[in-house]
Structure 1
């Protein structure tokens, strides 16, 4: 049987005017800033007016470590949201915006799949409402103002060797990782080494996604440390006087975007920090707004639960004062087989033993999530090649871990295929079984926080960090930053820092290469192993296949 591609399905969507979608959540049309007919931003005034309303139930969707076989975390998030609405619940979805870098690199798109998608798919995967461009512009405005300050006399006495604010671009471009700026003579400034990160790794992105409102946004922007003086005292963004103009550029980007699923259910799509190099969650303002407007809010955290869910629970929940009622852990039979040693080309053949051999990766994620005090349901995202025996092997394994696994066919059938999952998730959420708590307290020393995550979540034996890194962490503690959470930058493909080490490895070490203080966002970034904050394109980037076809529509996004 031939199945339609995601983009073919998305093109056939019968979208409703965005005002109708907003009305489902009680948002008046006057409080929607429309971008065309099918997407809009929700006004800050309306959001502020919801503050005293009671919160709905928060449902977090996460996954096992990603494999080339695909897991379908966003697809499951959308399918579960549609399923909840289909069984009569008032539900909204909250997901992240897509970055152009991976769209043109490896992914080709990030709006769900099959009959569990958010539309307009092409817009969401490309420029959308311009939020990422605004973040890029605000970030680079600060870069320009730092260099300009130094050029015009350097009144703040910035040590040019200690400018820590890098530039950003929303594209995978390895050539920009390390650069030299200001060559070409006196009129161009003072030459120095610099570099670019991808926009989704920008502290401005993290700040926008953690800020509570526009005033909190400006305060956090002002708190950014951009450089140090010769005496090692910090220079802040507010010292450069860039925070006001940056806030102006971000004013509209701060307002969450609302779109719709294929089944015309509301979806907030706002913010997009990567989970492997940033904190991996959509914006706090989108999630907290949705919780005021819907009885159930389904949101996702990036990549595997060792990254996205850990940061959602240790950083976002801590900062926003929210807590999930239930966590849905997405797995596929195909991914279990890959973790069990089967090559991608052989995934179509039944192999129950390989499924069983790959399940320890799933088991470790279940155990880790339970350690936060939250109930865990495993969603088996169904592929048409899965056999009954393979599905049963996953269900039996999950039952042995004290949880339950539910087969969900949302990719193929939309909400009709996710009703079982939605019914059980709603039951657990309504039972108020969660007793959520982060796995480390604010007052724990920074290096101990890193060790706690490495040992309890990654199951590493040790963290390898040289004296320079440990001294830097101690110095930040002395400066009053010791109570911040840590944001681990690590490969998404493994519990370890070796992307090729699948399954549930033990006996490994976590090497820390660098630490960065994100004082505005309010966390310490800990860069482990070979992870890059500016990715490169693969040998054959998705961009090669993306084009406008003879009918004038976009091909190649998927």
Structure 2
């Protein structure tokens, strides 16, 4: 049977005017800033007026560790949101915006798939409403002002060897990871080594996603550390006097974007930090706004639950005072067989034994989610080649661990294919069984927080960090940053720092390569193993297949 591509399905969809989608949430036309007929930003004044309303139920969609076999976390998020609306609940989804890097690289877009998509898919996966451009511009404005400050006398006595504010671009470009800038003579400044990160790794991105309003945004931007003096004291963004102009560049980007699913249900798409190098959640302002407007809000956290969900709970929920009611763990038969040792080329063959072995990865994530006090349900994202014996083995495995694994066909059937999952989510959420608590307290030392994540979430035996890293963490504690949570930058493909170790390994170690203080965002970034904050393109990037057809329609996006 031939299936239509995601882009074909999206391009054939009939879209409601965005004012009609907004009306489902009680948002009037005057409270919107339209971007064409099918997307809009929601005004600050409207959001400010929602404070006293009660909040709806919060559902987190997470997943097993990603594999080349595919899991479908965003697809399930969209399918579940549509299914909740189908069964009579006022539901809204909240997901992240797509980065151009993975769109043109290997991962593809972030709009879901099949008949569980957010539209307009092409716009969302490309320039959308310009939020990423604003973040990139604000970040690089600060970089330019730091170098300009140094050029015109260096009043803050910045040590050129300790400028920590790098530049960003929203593209996978390994050539920019390490550069030397200001070459070419006296008029170009003082040469120094620096580099680029991808925009989604920018602290400005994290701040936009964690800030509650423009005042909070400006304060957090001012708190960012850009460099250190020779005496090791920090130089802040506010010392360079850049936070005001940066706030101006970001004032519209702070307003959440409203679009629709294929079934015309509302979806907030706002912010886009990666979960392997940042905190991996959509914006706090989008989530909290949706909670005031809907009975159920379905959101997602990037990659597997060891990264995205842990950061959602320990960073986003901690900072925003959110309390999730249900966690949905997405798994596929194919991905679990790959975790059990099956090669991608052999996934079409039934292999119940390999699936049972690979279920150890799912079991680890179930245990981890329960450790946060959040009830769990497993969504089995159906593929056409899944056999009844494999599905039954997966469901039996989950049942033995006290959770239900529900077969979902939303990719092929839209909301109808996720009704069983929606009904289970409602049952769990309305039973009030969630007793959410973060993994560690604020007053634990920074290194102890890192060890807690490594040992309790990754099942590692040890964290490997040299004296310089331990001393740096201690120095930040002495400066008053010891209360901050940890943002682990680690491969998404494994519980370990080795991307090739699938399943549920134990007894490994977590080597720390570098630590970065994100004082404005309010967390410490811990870079582990070989993870890069500027990805590269694969041998055959997706960009090679993207273009316009004879009708001038975008093709090749996925």
TM-score normalized by the length of structure 2: 1.00
Unaligned runs of 5+ residues in structure 2 are none
Q: Where in structure 2 are the equivalents of 1:531-546 lying within 5 Å? A: 531-546=531-546
- Where does residue 88 of structure 2 map in the other structure? 88
Deviations 1:292-336 (A, max 9, x none): 000000000000000000000000000000011000000000001
In 2, Cα distance between the equivalents of 1:349 and 1:115? 26
- Offset, 1:454: 0.2
Deviation at residue 270 of structure 1 after TM alignment: 0.1
Q: Which residue of 2 aligns with 1:442?
A: 442
Counterpart position of 1:550: 550
Q: Is the 8 A contact 1:208 1:271 kept in 2?
A: yes
Counterpart for residue 356 of structure 2 = 356
CA apart distance, 1:108: 2.5
Name 1:44's counterpart in structure 2.
Answer: 44
SS at match of 1:537: coil
* Offset of residue 532 of structure 1: 0.1
- 2:374 paired with 1:380: no
Distance across 2 between alignment mates of 1:346 and 1:323: 41
Distance 1:7 1:161 in 2: 48
Question: Is contact 1:63–1:305 with CA below 8 Å preserved after alignment?
Answer: yes
Q: Take 2:342 and 2:150, find their aligned partners in 1: how far apart are those partners?
A: 56
1:116 aligned partner: 116
4+ residue runs over 6 A deviation: none
Cα distance in 2 between the residues matched to 1:61 and 1:252: 28
The corresponding residue for 2:97 is 97
Distance 2:110 2:232 in 1: 42
SS at match of 1:303: coil
- Structure 2: how far apart are the matches of 1:83 and 1:501? 35
| Secondary structure at the counterpart of residue 495 of structure 1 | coil
| Cα-Cα RMSD | 0.5
Q: Hey, what's the Cα distance between the residues in 2 that align with 1:507 and 1:461?
A: 5
Contact map agreement 1:378 1:405 (CA 8 A) in 2: yes
**SS where residue 301 of structure 2 aligns?**
strand
Question: Match of 1:466?
Answer: 466
CA deviation after TM superposition for structure 1 residue 402, in Å = 1.0
TM-score (norm 1): 1.00
Structure 1 CA distance for aligned equivalents of residues 285 and 235 of structure 2: 28
Cα distance in 2 between the residues matched to 1:46 and 1:214: 14
Q: How does 1:504-543 map to 2 (within 5 A)?
A: 504-543=504-543
Q: 8 Å contact 1:108–1:556 — kept in the other structure?
A: no
What is the match of residue 56 of structure 1? 56
What is the CA–CA distance in structure 2 between the aligned matches of 1:83 and 1:393, rounded to whole Å? 25
Q: Distance in 2 between matches of 1:533 and 1:151?
A: 28
Q: Which residue in 2 is equivalent to 1:398?
A: 398
* Cα displacement (A) at 1:350: 1.1
Aligned to 1:70: 70
Cα offset, 1:52, TM superposition: 1.1
Taking the aligned partners of 1:420 and 1:350, their CA distance within structure 2 comes to 25
Give the match for residue 29 of structure 1.
Answer: 29
| 1:88-127 deviations in Å (ceiling 9; x for gaps) | 0000000000000000000222100000000000000000
Q: What is the aligned partner in structure 2 of residue 389 from structure 1? A: 389
Query: Residue by residue, what CA displacement relative to the aligned partner does 1:390-434 show, whole Å, maximum 9, x if unpaired?
Result: 100000000111111100100010001100000110110111100
Distance 2:434 2:136 in 1: 38
Equivalent residue number for residue 261 of structure 1: 261
Aligned to 2:164: 164
- The unaligned stretches of length 5 or more in structure 1 are none
Q: How many Å separate the matches in 1 of 2:383 and 2:544?
A: 27
Q: Report how far residue 357 of structure 1 moved.
A: 1.0
Are 2:327 and 1:327 equivalent residues in the alignment? Answer: yes
Tell me the equivalent position of 1:410. Answer: 410
After superposition, what is the alpha-carbon deviation per residue over 1:56-95, rounded to whole angstroms, capped at 9, x for unaligned? Answer: 0000000000000000000000000000000000000000
Deviation sequence 1:143-195 (CA, Å, 0-9, x none): 00000000001111111111000000000000000000000000000000000
- Whether 2:191 is the aligned partner of 1:191: answer yes
- Within 5 A, what are the aligned runs for 1:192-207? 192-207=192-207
1:271 match: 271
Say which SS state the counterpart of residue 418 (structure 1) adopts.
Answer: helix
SS in 1 for 2:299: strand
Deviations 1:467-520 (A, max 9, x none): 000000000000000000000000000000000000000110000000000000
Q: Distance in 2 between matches of 1:52 and 1:157?
A: 47
Contact kept? 1:182, 1:189, Cα under 8 Å: yes
The answer on 1:478 being equivalent to 2:482 is no
Give yes or no for contact 1:160–1:192 (8 Å, CA) kept in 2.
yes
Structure 2 residue aligned with 1:340: 340
Between the aligned partners of 1:354 and 1:163, the Cα distance in structure 2 is 50
The equivalent of 2:503 in structure 1 is 503
Aligned partners of 1:45 and 1:193: how far apart in 2?
44
**Corresponding residue of 2:219:** 219
SS in 2 for 1:302: coil
How far did 1:345 drift?
Answer: 1.0
